Amino acid sequence: MTSFLETLASQFGIPIWLLIMVLAWSLFWKAIALWKSARNNHFIWFVAFLIIHTLGILEILYIFLFSKIKLPGFEKKPSKKRKK
């Protein structure tokens, strides 16, 4: 794995530590955006996050801007709790 990252970093002409930081940054924001879009039942956003890689930019916009907008027909359904 290390040799792969070193090869990739050298092909882009950047230090390996910067490549690792960019990957960690992107993975962090992608995970949060995927979780939040799944919780809000925003299927289209969820699929977009899986397909489109924007180094966290689209994910950050969704988390702090688009997830706050209430769209008609996308209201959160109340969870069904079982009675004991």
Kindly give the confidence (pLDDT) of every residue in the chain, 84 residues in length, as a single tens digit, with 9 standing for 90 and above. Answer: 678 888 888 888 889 888 889 889 989 999 999 999 999 899 998 998 888 878 888 888 888 888 876 656 655 555 566 665
CA–CA dist 15, 51 (Å, integer): 26
- pLDDT for 34: 92
Any residues with CB less than 8 A from the CB of 22 and at least 6 apart, and which?
A: 55
Task: Please name which of 45, 51, 25, 43 lies closest in space to residue 33, comparing C-alpha atoms.
Answer: 45
Q: Which amino acid is at 67?
A: S
